[in-house]
Amino acid sequence: MRKKLFFIAVTVLTVQACFAQTPVSLIIDGSNPKTIISRHIYGHFSEHLGRCIYDGYWVTDSMNVPKKDRIRLDIVEALKKIKVPNLRWPGGCFADEYHWRDGIGPRNQRPHMVNTNWGGVSEDNSFGTHEFLELCELIGCEPYIAGNVGSGTVEEMAKWVEYLNSDAQSTMTEIRKQNGRDKPWRVKFWGVGNESWGCGGNMTADFYADQYKRYATYARNYHDAPLYRIASGANSSDYNWTDVLMKNAGTRMWGLTLHHYTLPTGNWGRKGSATSFDEKEYFNTMRNCLIMEELVTRHSTIMDKYDPAKRVALVVDEWGVWTEVEPGTNPGFLYQQNSLRDALVAGTTLNIFNNHCERVRMANLAQTINVLQALVLTRGNQMLLTPTYHVFDLYKVHQDAKWLPVNFNSPDYVIEDRKIPAVNISASQDTATGAVHISFVNLDPNKKISFRSNLIGIKWQTVTGQILTSKKLTDVNSFENPNNVRITPFTGARKEGNELIVDLPPQSVVVLELKYVPN
């Protein structure tokens, strides 16, 4: 019996030794932080698509929820909590068939239109320019308006800018005043078209570069309202588009966009389910998500060739997970559930943006409510916050903070004969308090990963943390169980001498806060 017990004990110790891991060495350099992580990296995108606007933000008079006019205020409060810095509207593909004058004036006199891009539904234009800008004021965010280049005219865009931003006496400003707004809004961010290589007009890069210069010329700066003009940039790895735009129009833009979606299967014909997937498909999803690192790096390198001072921002104004719609829903509405997997994609992508913040200075998750990788899902007067929402809640500490370089060699997450880095990290220092925040994402669903950190030039005494994880990668928040995946306190970090020790659980997003309180 003793021999048997001894054999069991040795076997257990041997197994434990096989799974024991030497802590990963992590260096965080806080000696001379200069670059700021723009809060606008944490922006969002709300298109006239499915139930994002109508039955999302904008509800019926009879719906029994708190509202201002018809703007749903529980959604507003949720977005205020995560400090949404900007909101992109009205599209997307919808922007290049939207004619802004149809959405102003008395609502009962506004023309109806067919949304030919998304579901062929009829819209009554009751949510237009004034309603959108009131929504932004309620949230406390900056509006980012995408102008119509595909089916619009130069004059139409020029008049919209005048209507929004001019304080001079003119026909446009008089119409604005008649519609209830005396002072201009002074909208700063202005997109000159959307996906002009595709649904925005199927243009070539050379043709669009000329169109951009033409439209941008007549989108004027008005008193105290300089425009940040944003050109329609590349589809994923179309590096030629970036080269042509930077060469031909780079001196005339504030930003250049990039669009990239994470497809679980990598196949637009069969994108995969939002809730039903195995570990192999999860691995594929994360591998496809990590392509963003290569895209941002290579597009930035091309931009550096024409703009070494990094004056032009890379604006990733459409990103996120795109799966098949939920069974039984309108295919044109792009309604999908949101799992722990989505949260891991969000944390990873935001870490990439943070670590490229010299060039990436704006980004917009697609989309805010009831569409694609949404922050909020609604059903009648019910509302829930998705796992992705909670990542933005955790990461809001990075907004306008000083970026801190991180250096480490990630262990691999291996499945069969394929591997990806298991961990990604970003760090920043709060400009007001000096507190340091470190964001960890462990993509490996099977292994805990430990870190021993050397913090250069950082004074700290205490460490606290929060974690987002769940038992299964497929776990979601439902209307029956809206708090299934939620933020909880994290106790796996400690101070040993001058070192930070972190034990990072599998499939988790962790944000730490390090503080120093002088005597």
Strands 36-37 and 313-321, bridge-based pairing: unpaired
H/E stretch holding 45: strand 43-45
195 part of the active site: yes
Q: In a 10 Å sphere around its CB, with 0-12 CB exposed, 13-18 middle and 19+ buried, how is residue 62 labelled?
A: exposed
Cα R_g (the chain), whole angstroms:
24
Assess contact for 513 and 500: CB atoms under 8 A.
no
Q: Which of 195, 279, 358, 496 is flagged as catalytic?
A: 195
Q: Which of 47, 123, 162, 318 is flagged as catalytic?
A: 318
Among 382, 410, 392, which Cα is nearest to 353's? Answer: 392
Assess contact for 338 and 477: CB atoms under 8 A.
yes
DSSP three-state, residue 415: strand
162 part of the active site: no
DSSP three-state, residue 388: helix
Residue carrying structure tokens 């949260």: 343
As a whole number of angstroms, the distance between CA 375 and CA 343 comes to 10
Among 335, 315, 319, which Cα is nearest to 275's? Answer: 335
Write the single-letter amino acid at 397. V
Sign of the alpha-carbon torsion through 271, 275, 383, 45: negative
Just list the catalytic residues. Answer: 195, 318
